[in-house]
Amino acid sequence: MSETRPVIRLRPKAEARAIRHGFPWVYADELVTDRRTKALASGTIATLEDAERRPLATVTVNPNSKIIARVMERDPQATIDRDWIAAKLSRALEMRARLFEAPFYRLVHAEADGLPGVIIDRFGDAAVIQPNAAWSEAMIGEIEGALAEVTGVTTIIKNGSGRARSLEGLAEETLTLRGGVDAPIEVPMNGAIYLADLMGGQKTGLFYDQRPNHAFAARLAEGARVLDLFSHVGGFALAALAGGAREALAVDASAPALDLAARGAAAMGAADRFATRQGDAFDALEALGREGARFDLAICDPPAFAPAKPALQAGLRAYERIARMAAPLVAPGGYLVLCSCSHAADLAQFRAACTRGIGKAGRAAQLIHTGFAGPDHPMLPQLAESGYLKSLFFRLD
Half-sphere exposure of 160 (CA within 13 A, CB side): 18
What integer pLDDT is reported at residue 15 of this predicted model?
A: 83
Task: Catalytic residue, from 300, 339, 341, 354: name it.
Answer: 341
354 is catalytic: no
Positive or negative torsion for Cα 32, 35, 38, 41 = negative
**Is residue 192 exposed (0-12), middle (13-18) or buried (19+ Cβ within 10 Å)?**
buried
Q: Percent of the chain having pLDDT more than 70?
A: 99
Mean pLDDT of 31-60: 96
Residue 225's H or E segment, with its range, is strand 225-229
Strand pairing report for 173-178 and 155-160: antiparallel
pLDDT at 200: 85
**247 close to 226: Cβ distance less than 8 angstroms:** yes
Q: What are phi and psi of 215, to 5 degrees?
A: -65, -40
Confidence tier at 78 by pLDDT (50, 70, 90): very high
Which pLDDT belongs to residue 377? 98
The model's pLDDT over 301-356, given as tens digits with 9 standing for 90+, comes to: 999 999 888 999 999 999 999 999 999 999 999 999 999 999 899 999 999 999 99
Q: How far apart are CA 258 and CA 251, in angstroms?
A: 8
pLDDT in tens, 198-218: 998 777 889 999 999 999 999
Query: What pLDDT digit, counting tens, does each position of 133-152 carry?
Result: 999 999 999 999 999 999 99
Neighbours of 384 (CB within 10 A): 11
Taking the C-alpha atoms of residue 198 and residue 203, their distance in angstroms, rounded to an integer, is 8
Per the prediction, the chain carries an average pLDDT of 96
Decide the pairing of beta strands 185-189 and 192-196: antiparallel
Amino acid at 152: G
Question: Considering only 55-64, 162-171, 259-268, 356-365, which range has the smallest mean pLDDT?
Answer: 162-171
Q: Which of 196, 198, 110 is nearest to 388 (CA)?
A: 110
Query: Cβ-count burial of 5 within 10 angstroms (0-12 exposed, 13-18 middle, 19+ buried)?
Result: middle
Q: CA-to-CA distance for 237 and 268, rounded, in angstroms?
A: 12
- Identify the pLDDT of residue 8: 97
pLDDT category of residue 2 using cuts at 50, 70 and 90: very low
What's the rounded mean pLDDT across residues 90-104?
97
Mind listing the pLDDT tens digit for each residue in 369-385? 999 999 999 999 999 88
What is the three-class DSSP state of 188? Answer: strand
Interval 224-265: pLDDT, tens: 999 999 999 999 999 999 999 999 999 999 999 999 999 999
Length of the chain (residues) = 397
- List, in order of start, the domains of the chain with CATH numbers: 7-73 (2.30.130.10), 82-178 (3.30.750.80), 187-396 (3.40.50.150)
Q: Which residues contact 35 (CB under 8 A, 6 or more apart)?
A: none
Looking at the predicted structure, is the pLDDT value of residue 1 above 50? no
Choice among 15-19, 27-31, 55-59 with the minimum mean pLDDT: 15-19
Q: Is the pLDDT of residue 196 over 50?
A: yes
Bridge partner residues of 371 (DSSP): 391
**Residues of the chain with pLDDT > 90: what percent?**
91
At 3, the pLDDT band (50, 70, 90 cuts) reads low
Between 343 and 154, the higher pLDDT residue: 154
Q: Going by C-beta distance under 8 Å and a sequence separation of 6 or more, which residues neighbour residue 89?
A: 107, 108, 115, 120, 146, 147, 150, 151
